[in-house]
Amino acid sequence: MNSEMMTDGFHLVVDALKLNALDTIYGVAGIPITDLARLAQAEGLRYFGFRHEQSAGNAAAIAGYLTQKPGICLTVSAPGFLNGLVALANATTNCFPMILISGSSNRAIVDLEQGDYEELDQMNAAKPFAKAAFRVNRVEDIGIGIARAIHAALSGRPGGVYLDLTAAALSATLDLDSARRSLVKVVDPAPRQIPAPDAVARAIDLLAHAKHPLIILGKGAAYAQAEAEIRQLIETTGIPFLPMSMAKGLLPDSHPQSAATARSLAIGQADVVVLIGARLNWLLSHGKPPLWSETTQFVQLDISPTEIDSNRPIAAPVVGDIKSAVAALLGAIQPGQVKAPADWLDVLEVHKKKNVERMAARLAAEPSPMNFSSALRAVRDVLADRPDVTIVNEGANTLDFARNIIDMTVPRKRLDSGTWGVMGIGMGYAIAAAAVSGKPVVAIEGDSAFGFSGMEIETICRYKLPIVTIVLNNGGIYHGDKPGERPSPTGFVQNARYDKMIEAFGGGGYHVTDTAGLGEALSEALASCTPALINCVIDPTAGTESGHIQNLNPKSALKT
């Protein structure tokens, strides 16, 4: 047959992605997928080549969260696949739609464990950490394999999917007519799930009798892009709300019904709590005392029935996609049927005012050297007029302080360590946020967190992305060492100059030691819309062990 009437697996993968409007790949090239990366770029797909597969995977995962389309990560076999697997597991845990595509070795050799190049049974290795895992052995199955991966990543609760493409399938040929017929354009991969009317009625009845109602917004609500419906529900009922970290901005943090500055009181005294895309996991103390009252009743809006009763009994489960579930509540609530009592709002307002005044006094201080609060106040002041900027945030103390200090006004503009609380997501998330939005990104990093993915600043410079990385440099994990002491398990090189790293790749480096210099550097870097890194020197004694979750870090009973 004429070779001009044939195609191969490499072309079919690209054709299948394009057919389903998946136009961006994040990856690391190598055997056996180098030609696939080259071809994808030649055929008009955007390809971002990373220095490490974990960062590429993190980029794909957060791209999925931002776009409601599965982010695509491409890796080589065995070790490259394993590097990407960490990001795949994180995506599944955080409910981010992502497809990890890895080339793999000859199946006949792998299955007999005969020692092939980078031999590993990748599909079975991925299964415990993915929502689904598939292997394509035949070139004619590439189209259906990608379609299945898309459905699995997006339907129900989103998550990470592994797609194993064997070297044999990639290199195999197929005639053009058969190839075209083998492609699948996915239709409605995430269909609406409408909650049952009786479930909605049960939730409304519970809320109608609540004395201290509270709404908690999770990143599932942000992913659902249901901010208009959520705002209407909150403002119609007058119920105060608490946003989880990545749900900040669904309503502005300055909204009068926000109870974020009275969080502990609101949670501790609430009698009916509505969970919207939020899970009662460790981030909410599993819904248990002492943070929560034993008598609190819950309404839970979640797409997954298995999430119900996972930690506390749920009095009114509303199972459906978030947008449909909130719309159903709005449609069924009668005028005046659900209203937050005025005395409850007054109690919260008094507490909010006290905490705001206490925070303002702390932020007004100008210690020398800077601490986390003063440095982040300078960052906050610059970003106050830049709602277009996406903020990426990681690090123990850096994360804890930043989410309380830097207000958000727009949804899906704050990206952080999420459900697992892992470090190393920073540069991958920043690159994807810039790629998706085309707008500036500010990555606020602890020096320890930055170290996990810091080499990706070369990737940022190579693609000339408008990303400003701020490293809050206190010389260690949690805090630095005292001068002259031997390096501790948590100490780094003192007086490190992270700004010099980006200068080596052609980016702009800044070294700042006070809040005025920090504000000026950030303003200048944002105005330039080019890669920049600000080495922000703060007090090496600033920071507490494990940030705000010291209770999760067990201590030795014996003194050392």
CATH assignment of the domain containing 339: 3.40.50.1220
Residues 484 and 444 in one domain: yes
Give the residue among 427, 416, 402, 438 at the shortest CA–CA distance from 507: 427
Q: Say how far apart CA 283 and CA 507 lie, in whole Å.
A: 37
Residues 249 and 278 in one domain: yes
CA 224 to chain centroid, in Å, comes to 14
Q: Say how far apart CA 218 and CA 244 lie, in whole Å.
A: 5
Residues 373 and 328 in one domain: no
Q: At residue 552, does pLDDT exceed 80?
A: no
Tell me whether residue 155 is in a domain: yes
Look up the pTM and report it: 0.96
What pLDDT does 229 receive? Answer: 98
The string of pLDDT tens digits covering residues 403-432 is: 999 999 999 999 999 999 999 999 999 999
The string of pLDDT tens digits covering residues 435-476 is: 999 999 999 999 999 999 999 999 999 999 999 999 999 999
7, 61, 139, 235, 264 from 175: Cα distances, Å: 6, 34, 11, 59, 64
Residue 339 DSSP SS3: coil
Last residue of a domain, one of 130, 155, 182: 182
Q: At residue 542, does pLDDT exceed 60?
A: yes
Structure tokens at 447: 């020096």
What angle (nearest 5°) sits at the alpha carbon of residue 11, between those of residues 6 and 13?
A: 130
The stretch 314-343 carries a mean pLDDT of 97
What pLDDT does 3 receive? Answer: 58
Phi/psi of residue 520, nearest 5 degrees: -65, -40
The string of pLDDT tens digits covering residues 316-326 is: 999 999 999 99
Q: Say how far apart CA 487 and CA 362 lie, in whole Å.
A: 31
Give the residue among 444, 465, 425 at the shortest CA–CA distance from 379: 444
Tell me whether residue 558 is in a domain: no
Structure tokens at 20: 């389903």
The string of pLDDT tens digits covering residues 162-213 is: 999 998 999 999 999 999 999 999 999 999 999 999 999 999 999 999 999 9
Number of domains in the chain: 3
Residues 397 and 491 in one domain: yes
Q: What is the 3-state secondary structure of 198-239?
A: HHHHHHHHHHHCCCCEEEEECHHHHHCCCHHHHHHHHHHHCC
Structure tokens at 194: 């409408």
Residues 383 and 336 in one domain: no
Tell me whether residue 189 is in a domain: no
Count other C-beta atoms under 10 Å from residue 378's C-beta. Answer: 23
Q: Residue 357 has what DSSP assignment?
A: H
Sorted by sequence, the CB contacts under 8 Å of residue 502 that are 6+ apart come out as 457, 461, 469, 508, 509, 531, 532, 533
Sign of the alpha-carbon dihedral angle for 16, 19, 25, 30: positive
Tell me whether residue 560 is in a domain: no
Residue 14 DSSP SS3: helix
Sorted by sequence, the CB contacts under 8 Å of residue 121 that are 6+ apart come out as 110, 111
* Domain around 456: 365-537
* Maximum alpha-carbon separation in the chain: 82
Q: Say how far apart CA 362 and CA 348 lie, in whole Å.
A: 21
Q: Say how far apart CA 446 and CA 331 lie, in whole Å.
A: 45
Tell me whether residue 121 is in a domain: yes
Based on C-alpha coordinates, what's the Rg of the chain?
25
Q: Say how far apart CA 451 and CA 247 lie, in whole Å.
A: 26
How confident is the prediction for the chain on average, in pLDDT?
95
Last residue of a domain, one of 182, 208, 230: 182
Say which CATH number the domain at 87 has: 3.40.50.970
The string of pLDDT tens digits covering residues 91-119 is: 999 999 999 999 998 888 888 888 888 88
Q: List the strands of the sheet with 132-136, edge to edge.
A: 46-49, 24-27, 71-75, 98-104, 160-166, 132-136
Q: At residue 1, does pLDDT exceed 50?
A: no
Residues 491 and 524 in one domain: yes
Tell me whether residue 543 is in a domain: no
Residues 488 and 516 in one domain: yes
The string of pLDDT tens digits covering residues 50-67 is: 999 999 999 999 999 999
Strands 441-446 vs 390-394: parallel, antiparallel or unpaired: parallel
Tell me whether residue 555 is in a domain: no
- Residue written as tokens 């830097």? 406
Residues 528 and 416 in one domain: yes
E-strand spans in 61-185? 71-75, 98-104, 132-136, 160-166, 173-175
The pLDDT-based confidence of 549 (bands split at 50, 70, 90) is confident
How crowded is the C-beta side of 504, counted as CA atoms within 13 Å?
11
Residues 173 and 216 in one domain: no
Residue 294 near residue 285 (C-beta atoms within 8 A): no
Q: Residue 292 has what DSSP assignment?
A: S
Residues 314 and 257 in one domain: yes
What pLDDT does 173 receive? Answer: 97
Residues 316 and 380 in one domain: no
What angle (nearest 5°) sits at the alpha carbon of residue 23, between those of residues 147 and 186?
A: 25
Residue type at position 167: A
Residues 14 and 146 in one domain: yes
- The answer to whether the bond into 32 is cis (omega within 30° of 0) is yes
Last residue of a domain, one of 350, 376, 410: 350
Percent of the chain with pLDDT over 90: 91
Q: Where are the alpha helices (DSSP H) in 250-289?
A: 263-269
Tell me whether residue 553 is in a domain: no
